[in-house]
Amino acid sequence: MPSVSHRLDRFVARHLSISKKAVRELLIQRKIMVDGKATNIMNHIIGPFTSVIVDGDIIQQRQAVYLMLNKTKGVVSATKDEKHKTVIDLIDHPLKNELHIAGRLDFNTTGLLLLTNDGTWSKQLSLPDNNVMKTYRVTLKESLSRSDIETYQKTFHKGVLLLPENIITRPATLVALDANTVELSICEGRYHQVKRMFGCFQNEVLELHRLSVGSLLLDEKLGLGEVRDITTKEIMTITHVN
């Protein structure tokens, strides 16, 4: 869904195909309501989810949707796919066809996936400069010694060169859970990034599960393939932008 904002007078004029002079008359007569309140302010900013009613007729009344899904293996992080089941197919929601994915997961990666129709919110999550950390539980083929763990930690903090893009990853943190399981936190989402980072050590990633995005943790009550609404508090705090 588009996230562009407009001035109220231009928004109403365009949607009703009337002149701005006619819109000013409606404002003077206080026949335009924004989010349930009559207004006479021409340059009131209208966002994609602002309610606008003109003389009793609904011009815009869209619902913002924010969902968390516990993604299963074998499901594509896409809204449409001719060959495979998509994450949208897992969702039963009246506005499911308006949703897009805020940070994709690979075909066989499980865990926290966010879906929304709010383009501004999802953009905040994806911008590297916002440093929204994504934490993954990673199961590795080769066991790690204490020395290996320290080497991985130093290397990932410094950054790993990804080819052929010739890009060095941003600083990442690694915490060992056991000899074959670690938690990795990154603020990017490049193509197969986690697998490629461990590939620098010729260590294959066997399982990859996303635990969190920013302050938002995967709800432990959600089974694989299950979805729930994200609370208002979670929406506001995930990027620390109010």
* Helix or strand (DSSP H, E) at 157: helix 146-158
* Alpha helices (H) along 29-145: 119-126
**Which tens digit of pLDDT belongs to each residue from 15-41?**
999 999 999 999 999 999 999 999 999
pLDDT band at 168; cut points 50, 70, 90: very high
Q: What are phi and psi of 71, to 5 degrees?
A: -65, 140
Query: Is 84 a residue whose pLDDT tops 80?
Result: yes
pTM of the full predicted structure? 0.86
**Which tens digit of pLDDT belongs to each residue from 125-165?**
988 788 899 999 999 999 999 999 999 999 999 999 999 99
Q: What is the mean predicted confidence (pLDDT) over 214-222?
A: 94
Query: Is 210 a residue whose pLDDT tops 50?
Result: yes
CA distance 137 to 220: 14
Query: Is 239 a residue whose pLDDT tops 70?
Result: no
**Which tens digit of pLDDT belongs to each residue from 96-130?**
999 999 989 999 999 999 999 999 899 989 887 88
CA distance 54 to 71: 42
pLDDT for res 5: 86
Q: Where are the domains of the chain?
A: 6-60, 133-213
Rg (CA), the chain: 23
CATH 3.40.50.720 fits 133-213, yes or no: no
pLDDT for res 241: 45
Catalytic residue among 9, 57, 92, 106: 106
- What superfamily does domain 6-60 belong to in CATH? RNA-binding S4 domain (3.10.290.10)
**Which tens digit of pLDDT belongs to each residue from 41-69?**
999 999 999 999 999 999 999 999 999 99
Which of 75-84, 88-97, 134-143 ranks highest by mean pLDDT?
A: 134-143
CA distance 167 to 196: 12
pLDDT band at 3; cut points 50, 70, 90: low
- Residue 35 falls in the annotated catalytic set: no
Return the structure tokens found at 119.
């383009």
pLDDT for res 240: 54
Q: 3-state class of 225 per DSSP?
A: coil
